[in-house]
Amino acid sequence: MQKAIFIDRDGVINSDVGHYYIYKPEDFILNEGIIDSLKAFKKAGFMLIVISNQGGVDKGQYSCEDVEKVHLKMRNLLTEVGITLDEIYYCPHHNDVQKCLCRKPLNLNIEKAISRFDIDRTQSWMIGDSLRDIAAGEASGLKTLKIESNVDIRPFVDRIVK
């Protein structure tokens, strides 16, 4: 079995200061300390799996193609520094438009990853800046770390990497 860090995108990996939705590559800016933190997780043997709500798609504010462009930028910025994201799952739905099981606080996307990669829940974490992230992690039996939006998460890494 593998262990994984499930991690929210906006407000954790990248800054969402001044934006409700991030859907333009130029607005995607990595948060302070995230590179070192992700490197430390990888070094400790964790898979890195992004779990993101992108309800702006259902609301018609941007498209899945926009999401993919932002994800390409995220992958490229991280690849440049030697970090490979193992998978990115996002929910394009919004409760105002259609109900689904993959929008956090629901946990279908986490469960898909657990099943696909044979992940040990008891050794894995969900890191997020919203209570929805934490609820989704708890629903899948993960350990959780709630941070304030856009903080440097380096001070929390030791709690996870022991």
Residues whose CB is less than 8 angstroms from the CB of residue 104 and which lie 6 or more positions away in sequence, other chains included: 8, 51, 53, 91, 128, 130, 132, 133, 135, 136
Rule CB under 5 A: is residue 66 a binding residue for Mg ion?
no
Q: Active-site residue among 8, 16, 66, 133?
A: 8
Stretch that binds Mg ion, among 88-96, 97-105, 108-116, 121-129 (CB under 5 A): 121-129
Nearer to Mg ion, 66 or 129 (CB): 129
Rounded to the nearest 10 degrees, how much is the dihedral formed by the CA atoms of 30, 152, 94, 19? Answer: -60
- For residue 101, how far is the Cα from the chain centroid? 17
DSSP β-bridge partners for residue 125? 5, 143
Shortest Cβ 50–Mg ion spacing (Å): 11
Q: Which residue of 100, 135, 151, 161 would you call a contact of Zn ion, by CB under 5 A?
A: 100
Q: Which residue of 102, 114, 142, 147 would you call a contact of Zn ion, by CB under 5 A?
A: 102
Q: Which residue of 103, 124, 142, 153 would you call a contact of Zn ion, by CB under 5 A?
A: 103
Instruction: Tell me, yes or no, if 86 is annotated catalytic.
Output: no
Q: Which residue of 5, 7, 11, 93 would you call a contact of Mg ion, by CB under 5 A?
A: 11
Rule CB under 5 A: is residue 139 a binding residue for Zn ion?
no
Instruction: Tell me, yes or no, if 10 is annotated catalytic.
Output: yes
Q: Which does 100 bind (CB under 5 to 8 A by kind): Zn ion, Mg ion, none?
A: Zn ion
Structure tokens at 116: 């696909």
CA distance 126 to 3: 11
Q: Which does 102 bind (CB under 5 to 8 A by kind): Zn ion, Mg ion, none?
A: Zn ion
Rounded to the nearest 10 degrees, how much is the dihedral formed by the CA atoms of 83, 89, 92, 96? Answer: -120
Active site amino acids? 8, 10
